[in-house]
Chain A
Amino acid sequence: QSALTQPASVSGSPGQSITISCTGTSSDVGGYNYVSWYQQHPGKAPKLMIYDVNNRPSGVSNRFSGSKSGNTASLTISGLQAEDEADYYCSSYTSSSTWVFGGGTKLTVL
């Protein structure tokens, strides 16, 4: 199974909104509503931000939202803040009964 495809980098100014895409296949993203998103700051473990396409765990800001259309999922962060600068990874359950991650996107807050 190949990694899901994400843009290498995105950027935005404080207060703006950005969207990160995550493209897979019908065997992963397109086949299941089990897409999740993770935030990773340098030197830290990943943190779950979105699960099951568009659900936020308790404690995660409502500035983070997710969606999916066909084989592509998206993470949108609204009202960008300096603390949002991090790497973001999507993940999907797969037809092999395991999970696959995206290559990661580095978010820079200008």
Chain B
Amino acid sequence: EVQLVQSGAEVKKPGESLKISCMGSGYNFTNYWIAWVRQMPGKGLECMGIIYPGDSDTRYSPSFQGQVTISADKSISTAYLQWSSLKASDTAMYYCARAYSDAFDVWGQGTMVTVSS
């Protein structure tokens, strides 16, 4: 079964750093782009950026450039999303998704990140 499994929920304070993960299984992880998608509470989906695990080619959506870092370790079929200094406005559900034929066909279960003092 093709699946993406994300790391668990996080509660952090403003200014702290964080790295969340997304592990793929059931397919060749290196051959498909992985996207990170943000969903703020009660809001819509936003594509933050994408990475090709095969060569770590990474592209950021303009709104997220410089705000987060997307990376991948193909040896363990895992993609990452990280922040160096969290803000309250980073509170959201974060999904990873596999890109296939220019659409996102497999989604992780989501990682809830709560940033509060």
Contact = CB atoms under 8 A, between A and B. Distances in A.
Interface residues of A, number: 27
B107 A45 contact: yes
Contacts of A34: 102-103
Contacts of B80: none
Contacts, number: 72
A98 B44 contact: no
A69 interface: no
Contacts of B90: none
B102 A98 contact: no
Given A1-B61, A98-B61, A89 B104 contact: no
Given A98-B47, A98-B50, A46 B107 contact: yes
Given A51-B103, A91-B45, A101-B37, 5 more contacts: A1-B61, A1-B62, A1-B63, A36-B104, A96-B62
